[in-house]
Chains A and B, each alone.
Chain A
Amino acid sequence: MSERDMTLEQALEQVVAETFSEMAFLDAIRADAPPDSNETQVFVIEVRGDTTHHLILDLPLETKQAIVENIHARPWDEIASNDIDDCLLEFLNVLGGAFGRLYWGDESRYKLSFPEVRIGIPEEIDREAMQTFWFDAYGNFFAVHVGTE
């Protein structure tokens, strides 16, 4: 399969697995939706190529802790809150860049916004058109929501 033939779902699944593995040394695999979930703090980046997608990383505390502790190689309670946010924003930045390259291919041009911390799904995202992909990292479920313009 060429990169250009890749669907959004396939590209997202691959870049989530690769970014979790390469940056945070965690395995993240696709999962069914858990019985209940409440998005609170989320991390949002816009990836603009032939089409525009908002990638929204919706992580439970346990997954945030695992990512940040593995990247910093220090316990969670020794890491300042602004460093935690910076770490998760950079994590999403890398994920967004990898998504753009894989989804549109090496020859295509795409841009990334600066990643942001938001409370809940941003209002400008069309929830009707938003797709949600669930993943499992060692028993902790997290979601990547994709809003498409």
Chain B
Amino acid sequence: MDQIAEARKILIVDDSSTSRMITRRCFEMASTQPITFLEAPDGAAALTILQDNDVDLIITDINMPKMDGMTFVWKVKMNKRLENTPIIVLSSMKNERMENGLNGLGISSFIQKPISPAKVAEFVGEPA
């Protein structure tokens, strides 16, 4: 969890620009440190960004066009350079089977939308 609390470069993967904006804003409100955000609208675009960038934390949606979040998480965890990057899944869908599958892939946490500064504060350990 310390790895997440200290994240200063975060990749947000979500096909909704609104969701990316809300996520960015929640992290900015919950953290006292400046954070750099990179953004991608789907898993394929995120993998392209990760070819040239190291990030401290990945936050990804599940239901996305082109490459969904489940496939994206699997590809990150299969990549030796990226496998230890913490991943938070942020999705409007949540059920035990999906969460267990993602935990099996090694994600750090699962948050059901809507995200809020209070939910983020649980990870960054700073007041919302």
Contact = CB atoms under 8 A, between A and B. Distances in A.
Task: Determine if chain A interacts with chain B.
Answer: yes
Interface of A: 19, 22-23, 71-72, 83, 86-87, 89-91, 93-94, 96-98, 100-101, 104, 106-112, 114
Contacts of B16: 86, 89-90, 93
B17 A83 contact: yes
B116 A109 contact: no
A109 B98 CA distance: 8
B98 A23 contact: no
Contacts of A91: 18
B67 to A, nearest CB: 14
Contacts of A104: 95
B114 A19 contact: yes
- Main SS class of interface, A: helix
A129 B99 CA distance: 34
B18 A87 contact: yes
Given A107-B95, A107-B96, A108-B95, A97 B22 contact: no
A106 B18 CA distance: 26
Contacts, number: 60
A90 B114 CA distance: 10
Contacts of B91: 97
A90 B19 contact: yes
B92 A93 contact: yes
A25 to B, nearest CB: 11
A104 B18 CA distance: 27
A101 B93 contact: yes
A94 B115 CA distance: 10
B18 A71 contact: yes
Given A71-B22, A87-B18, A89-B16, A22 B63 contact: no
Nearest to A91: B18
B110 to A, nearest CB: 12
Nearest to B97: A109
B25 to A, nearest CB: 8
